[in-house]
Amino acid sequence: EIVLTQSPGTLSLSPGERATLSCRASQSLTSSYLAWYQQKPGQAPSLLIYGASSRATGIPDRFSGSGSGTDFTLTISRLEPEDFAVYYCQQYGSSPTFGPGTKVEIK
């Protein structure tokens, strides 16, 4: 099983600031099969990024994904009030697994 580790666990930032979230895999991912999701309290997750760097339909361009192999990054260029949430990475190169999540909270 591929284990995903996310850091930091919590990120405290102000609106307008840049957020950088990290996801590290225990082994190299096939063809960058890495996705990112946003989950707000009481809501289902929503897909942001797939294939490590492709934005899902309707996702604003302040969200970007990068990385390959074992190290991946989700960047939010300028935080909007609605971006404060929990973010999960997921690999789907083998039996799908999720990281434990990074909470982005208002500072």
Partner 1 sequence: EVQLVESGGGLVQPGGSLSLSCAASGFTFSNYAMSWVRQAPGKGLEWVSAISGSGGSTYFADSVKGRFTISRDNSKNTLSLQMNSLRAEDTALYYCAKNYGDYLLSAFDIWGQGTMVTVSS
What is the contact surface with partner 1 in residues (CB under 8 A)?
1, 33, 35, 37, 43-47, 50-51, 56-57, 88, 90, 92-101
* Shortest distance, position 23 Cβ to partner 1, whole Å: 13
Task: Tell me whether residue 67 or residue 99 sits nearer to partner 1 (CB atom).
Answer: 99
Task: Tell me whether residue 17 or residue 33 sits nearer to partner 1 (CB atom).
Answer: 33
Compute the distance between CA of residue 86 and CA of residue 49 in angstroms, rounded to an integer: 14
Q: Is 25 exposed, middle or buried (0-12, 13-18, 19+ CB in 10 A)?
A: buried
Phi, psi of 86 (to 5 degrees): -100, 140
Task: Tell me whether residue 17 or residue 39 sits nearer to partner 1 (CB atom).
Answer: 39
